[in-house]
């Protein structure tokens, strides 16, 4: 077996609209191409031995053991690889359930599709599955050690990619609310929502968290001063920079017991509490010095440690933090009890799990000693032995939810304190003997205020009810169902995508909104080019959706990008499908026009149920997409008598129709005339029918988004298919006694589209300079030739500079074959070089005639025309 290609899908895709995370592996079975699993001696046994848990895969029989039954009865190896890849991920703790295997048009070559949670793990699982199956085929077994290593590697990928418990809680809540999110490329920034409506977070800081509040909270001494001045109970304390001042400081705070901590520490680093002697104080001072230059000396307050979480001015959760401890069982030593406790799978390193493993430090031994123990003591059953003095979870502490117990006065105080410090999300550390009584009454204090407080003690307390604190954050960031997204309009089809995308963007600009759009020519925001290039894939979509100035996204969505990585967005408000015609067939395992239609239908299917799929009623494959999408349907048609559209309107649907020379929107009983086609420059005076179709699609897409008829009209009338706005799309040049037209048409449907315009040219002879990209199928070139013969009076056949792997002369032979097949007496010649071919066409231009150039390089063609002393670029004026 050989892996030919591995692709990673990250959005709605050809295989699934709902499952966005898929690996597509193109697998050549080689010598196994004709051998199903039952014909490989020992394969079934070897597979069951290596992965007995495959028993749990139902597969098509729909019951436990179903998949293994298929293996025993005989199934192709690609299918086995699929199930093994899923199971390997499962064994590493990643729950994935979706897989598909299909044979391609190349016999023995399969597409194996598997779901993943982590990209790297998914690709790894695919490769490991091939290795495993091959090994069983060759040797009857897969070594246990290798399987263990595979699973360990997969676990490592999974762990390394985890976002941390607080961020995890936030993105989970976002997903639950249908708020899109993505990771930005730096500083662990998470974007929630799209475009201008996005909010950003980094751990539990938001883009609203004020820098002054954060800096104040990080400076414990300043925090205490500000709070003390406001009458808030805080520990009596002072700051020193020299050991010499320690004695005086202890006196100032009222003598032992005291607390010594670094001025700007966190996570309990360098803190010693309950210090009772000068020796302890000196050691604690040194420990704090490791973390910070300035040292806080504070009175020690006896009590329990609480964390009060305040979000958007409201207390949303309270947890008591209990320091790391073990409970005696009368048999085990303290050392053994620690080891046992740390076996808990919920305990990880640092902050990456619900709890943290217990680790002892310098103060632990002293603490044990005070309790009368050593590590080797066997404490009596039920005795609690504290191992750390402070209760930070990151030093092995546990959390107990106390949200329902806090006294209202303490709630009021906590909320007031957070306002005083100036934070939107804050965690207060409160030491008090009883949180259900006012601090005032029990000599409780607010020890510090934390910016970016961790959520894990609230979302996963060891004892008590988990609190949905991320929900409170979402309520703050996106109050009262305010949309987190922006309108997304996605445009696909075989031909006319760029034109329609640009036109739609232009129409939308009439509303005064900032429109971000991507096309094959580049990515734009408002009036400006952001990035040139063929930007019709998910990365370009991300650029637009991540931009905080963009209010509306219009995305040209091409076949290649959908195939390579899926859509770059979760769902769209409008999905426009213009047409499906034979082009690119045979590329990327899309071999038939039906498959191509299924691929483009992803755009219609990924529309939200309250959005619209804008479909071409005149193209039966596009019209049929109405069956597949859950969205509302809006049709456009060039045929005012379309039966489909008539019925649709009768049922209350909306449509855009070309009738009596007008582009109109029909809804219910009313026809809203937008404009006469001949007043719309893009349609070249109404002579280019396919441009009318594109304009109908764009108008309809805007209309269903509540853009007004007046705004649509204004957009249509001011959009010009000029070289600068739409290079290579029906650019017509007036050269005095003849015209030249430059167009990108390179497939049969677009040839016919241009042909419709050329046929309307009644003043003189029509010359065509034709060609097409070399990676298309032989029969496509023959078709191009046939079409050209029907359209032009004289044809010059040329080839692209880049033949895309096809031998020079082959494409032109096929095209001439097509020409002579339909019109044996056609007048034509072959000039392979594009520049020479164009020049010849222009040289022989007849009076009042039209030279149609369908070039590889539009800019070069236009340059050649301009060398002829172009009179002017013809723009239709209204």
Q: Which residues bind ligand ATP (CB under 6 A)?
A: 235, 259, 261, 265-269, 271, 273, 298, 300-301, 305, 390-392, 429, 431, 447-448, 450, 493, 495-499, 520, 558, 578-579, 690, 693-694, 729-730, 743-745, 749-750, 753-754
Could you say which of Mg ion, ligand ATP, none residue 507 binds, taking C-beta under 5 to 8 angstroms by partner kind? none
Distance CA 43, CA 199 (A): 53
Lay out the site mask for Mg ion across 413-432 (x = CB under 5 A, - = otherwise): ----------------x---
Q: Which is nearer to ligand ATP, 21 or 307 (CB)?
A: 307
In whole angstroms, how far apart are CA 674 and each of 554, 661, 702, 715? 21, 11, 12, 11
Tell me how far, at minimum, the Cβ of 420 lies from ligand ATP, in Å.
18
Which stretch, 181-189, 324-332, 517-525, 613-621, contacts Mg ion (CB under 5 A)?
517-525
Tell me how far, at minimum, the Cβ of 554 lies from Mg ion, in Å.
13
Rg of the chain over CA atoms, in angstroms? 35
Q: If DSSP codes are grouped into helix, strand and coil, which group holds residue 877?
A: coil
Pairing of strands 304-311, 314-322: antiparallel
Q: Does residue 321 bind Mg ion (CB under 5 A)?
A: no
Peptide bond into 299 cis (omega under 30): no
Q: Which is nearer to ligand ATP, 447 or 788 (CB)?
A: 447
Q: Does residue 13 bind Mg ion (CB under 5 A)?
A: no
Q: Does residue 291 bind Mg ion (CB under 5 A)?
A: no
Q: Which is nearer to Mg ion, 8 or 520 (CB)?
A: 520
- Quick one: tokens of 162? 């985890």
Considering only residues 433-452, where is the footprint of Mg ion by CB under 5 A?
Answer: 448
Could you say which of Mg ion, ligand ATP, none residue 699 binds, taking C-beta under 5 to 8 angstroms by partner kind? none
Alpha carbon dihedral 235, 239, 240, 243, in 10-degree steps, equals 20
Q: Does residue 401 bind Mg ion (CB under 5 A)?
A: no
Q: Where are the beta strands (DSSP E) in 697-849?
A: 731-734, 739-742, 766-770, 794-797, 828-830
Could you say which of ligand ATP, Mg ion, none residue 57 binds, taking C-beta under 5 to 8 angstroms by partner kind? none
Among 272, 266, 274, which Cα is nearest to 292's?
A: 266
Distance CA 456, CA 459 (A): 5
Which residue number places its CB atom closest to ligand ATP?
Answer: 496
Q: Which is nearer to ligand ATP, 693 or 723 (CB)?
A: 693
Distance CA 473, CA 118 (A): 26
Among 520, 803, 820, 835, binds Mg ion (CB under 5 A): 520
Q: Which is nearer to Mg ion, 147 or 232 (CB)?
A: 232
Tell me how far, at minimum, the Cβ of 697 lies from Mg ion, in Å.
14
Among 497, 506, 584, 648, binds Mg ion (CB under 5 A): 497
Tell me how far, at minimum, the Cβ of 295 lies from Mg ion, in Å.
16
Q: Which is nearer to ligand ATP, 70 or 306 (CB)?
A: 306
Core vs surface per residue 654-672: b (16+ CB within 10 A) or e: bbbbbeeebbbbbbeeebb
Tell me how far, at minimum, the Cβ of 269 lies from ligand ATP, in Å.
6
Distance CA 822, CA 787 (A): 9
Could you say which of Mg ion, ligand ATP, none residue 495 binds, taking C-beta under 5 to 8 angstroms by partner kind? ligand ATP
Could you say which of Mg ion, ligand ATP, none residue 743 binds, taking C-beta under 5 to 8 angstroms by partner kind? ligand ATP
Could you say which of Mg ion, ligand ATP, none residue 634 binds, taking C-beta under 5 to 8 angstroms by partner kind? none
Distance CA 753, CA 108 (A): 39
- Quick one: tokens of 874? 């013809």
Tell me how far, at minimum, the Cβ of 390 lies from Mg ion, in Å.
8
Q: Which is nearer to ligand ATP, 447 or 543 (CB)?
A: 447
Q: Does residue 498 bind Mg ion (CB under 5 A)?
A: yes
Distance CA 393, CA 431 (A): 15
| Contacts for 763 with CB less than 8 Å, ≥ 6 apart | 848, 849
- Quick one: tokens of 442? 């029990």
**For the chain, percent helix, then strand, then coil, each to nearest 5?**
40, 25, 40
Phi/psi of residue 25, nearest 5 degrees: -110, 125
Distance CA 251, CA 67 (A): 76
Q: Which is nearer to Mg ion, 490 or 498 (CB)?
A: 498
Q: If DSSP codes are grouped into helix, strand and coil, which group holds residue 523?
A: strand
Tell me how far, at minimum, the Cβ of 75 lies from ligand ATP, in Å.
39
Q: Which is nearer to ligand ATP, 392 or 462 (CB)?
A: 392
Considering only residues 228-247, where is the footprint of Mg ion by CB under 5 A?
Answer: none
Distance CA 227, CA 528 (A): 50
Could you say which of Mg ion, ligand ATP, none residue 701 binds, taking C-beta under 5 to 8 angstroms by partner kind? none
Tell me how far, at minimum, the Cβ of 767 lies from ligand ATP, in Å.
17
Pairing of strands 355-356, 347-348: parallel
| Contacts for 149 with CB less than 8 Å, ≥ 6 apart | none
Q: Which residues bind Mg ion (CB under 5 A)?
A: 429, 448, 497-498, 520
């Amino acid at each position: 077996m050989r892996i030919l290609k591995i692709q990673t899908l990250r959005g709605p895709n050809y295989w699934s609209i709902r499952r966005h995370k898929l690996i597509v592996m193109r697998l050549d079975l080689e010598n196994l191409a004709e051998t199903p699993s039952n014909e490989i001696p020992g394969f079934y046994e070897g597979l069951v031995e290596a992965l007995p848990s495959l028993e749990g895969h139902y597969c098509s029989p729909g019951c436990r053991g179903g998949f293994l039954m298929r293996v025993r009865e005989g199934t192709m190896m690609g299918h086995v690889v699929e199930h093994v890849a899923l199971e390997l991920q499962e064994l590493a703790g990643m729950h994935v359930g979706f897989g598909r295997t299909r044979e391609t048009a190349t016999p023995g070559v399969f597409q194996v599709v598997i779901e993943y949670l982590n990209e790297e793990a998914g690709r790894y699982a695919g490769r490991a599955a091939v290795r495993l199956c091959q090994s069983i085929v060759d040797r009857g077994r897969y070594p246990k050690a290798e399987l263990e290593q595979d699973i360990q590697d997969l676990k490592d990928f999974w762990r390394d990619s985890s976002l941390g418990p607080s961020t995890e809680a936030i993105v989970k809540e976002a997903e639950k609310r249908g708020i899109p999110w993505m990771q930005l490329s730096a500083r662990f920034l998470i974007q929630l929502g799209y475009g201008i409506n996005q909010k950003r977070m980094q751990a539990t800081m938001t883009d609203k968290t004020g820098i002054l509040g954060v800096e104040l909270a990080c400076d414990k001494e300043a925090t205490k001063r500000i709070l003390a001045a406001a009458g808030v109970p805080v520990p009596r304390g002072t700051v020193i920079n020299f050991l010499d001042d320690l004695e005086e400081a202890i006196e100032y705070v009222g003598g032992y017991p005291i607390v010594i901590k670094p001025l700007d520490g966190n996570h309990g680093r360098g803190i010693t509490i309950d210090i009772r002697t000068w020796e302890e104080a000196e050691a604690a001072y040194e420990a704090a010095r490791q973390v910070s230059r300035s040292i806080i000396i504070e009175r020690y307050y006896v009590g329990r440690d609480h964390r009060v979480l305040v979000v958007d001015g409201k207390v949303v959760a309270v947890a008591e933090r209990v320091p790391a401890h073990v409970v005696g069982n009368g048999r085990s030593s303290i050392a053994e009890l620690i080891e046992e406790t740390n076996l808990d799978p919920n305990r990880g390193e640092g902050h990456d799990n619900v709890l943290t493993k217990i680790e002892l430090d310098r103060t632990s031994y002293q603490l044990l000693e005070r309790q009368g123990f050593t590590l080797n003591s066997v404490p009596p059953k039920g005795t609690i032995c504290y191992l750390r003095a402070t209760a930070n979870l990151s030093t092995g502490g546990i959390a107990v939810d106390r949200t329902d117990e806090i006294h209202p006065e303490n709630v009021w105080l906590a909320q007031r304190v957070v306002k005083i410090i100036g934070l939107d999300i804050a965690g207060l550390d409160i030491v008090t003997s009883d949180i259900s009584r006012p601090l005032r009454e029990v000599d409780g204090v607010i020890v510090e205020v934390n910016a970016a407080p961790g959520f894990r003690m609230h979302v996963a307390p060891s004892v008590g009810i988990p609190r949905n604190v991320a929900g409170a954050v979402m309520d703050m960031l996106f109050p009262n169902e305010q949309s987190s997204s922006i309108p997304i309009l996605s445009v696909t089809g075989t031909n006319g995508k760029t034109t329609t995308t640009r036109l739609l963007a232009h129409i939308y600009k009439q509303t005064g909104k900032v429109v971000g759009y991507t096309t094959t020519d580049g990515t734009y925001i408002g009036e400006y080019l952001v990035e040139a290039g063929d930007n019709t894939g998910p990365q370009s979509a991300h650029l637009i959706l991540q931009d905080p100035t963009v209010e509306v996204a219009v995305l040209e969505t091409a076949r290649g990008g959908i195939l390579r990585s899926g859509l770059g967005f979760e769902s769209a408000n409008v999905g426009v499908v213009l047409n499906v015609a034979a082009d690119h067939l045979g590329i990327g395992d899309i071999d038939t026009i039906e498959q191509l239609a299924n691929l483009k239908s992803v755009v219609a299917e990924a529309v939200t149920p309250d959005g619209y799929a804008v479909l071409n009623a005149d193209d039966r494959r596009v019209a049929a997409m109405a069956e597949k999408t859950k969205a509302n349907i809006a049709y456009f048609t060039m045929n005012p008598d379309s039966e489909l559209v008539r019925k649709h309107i009768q049922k209350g649907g909306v449509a855009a129709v070309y009738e009596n020379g007008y582009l109109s929107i029909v809804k219910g009983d009313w026809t809203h005339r937008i404009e006469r086609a001949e007043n719309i420059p893009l349609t070249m005076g109404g002579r280019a029918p396919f441009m009318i179709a594109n304009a109908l699609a764009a108008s309809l897409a805007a209309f269903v988004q509540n853009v007004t008829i007046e705004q649509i009209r204004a957009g249509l009338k001011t959009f010009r298919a000029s070289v600068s706005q739409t290079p290579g799309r029906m650019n017509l040049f007036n050269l005095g006694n003849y015209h030249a037209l430059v167009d990108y048409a390179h497939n049969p449907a677009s040839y016919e589209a241009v042909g419709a315009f050329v046929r309307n040219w009644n003043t003189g002879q029509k010359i065509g300079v034709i060609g097409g990209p070399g990676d298309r199928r032989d029969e496509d070139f023959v078709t191009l030739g046939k079409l050209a013969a029907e359209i032009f009076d004289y044809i010059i056949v040329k080839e692209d500079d880049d033949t895309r792997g096809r031998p020079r002369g082959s494409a032109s032979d096929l095209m001439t074959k097509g020409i002579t097949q339909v019109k044996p007496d056609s007048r034509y010649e072959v000039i392979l070089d594009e520049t020479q071919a164009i020049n010849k066409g222009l040289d022989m231009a007849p009076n009042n005639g039209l030279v149609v150039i369908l070039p590889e390089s539009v800019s070069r063609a236009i340059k050649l025309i301009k060398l002829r002393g172009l009179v002017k670029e013809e723009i239709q004026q209204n």
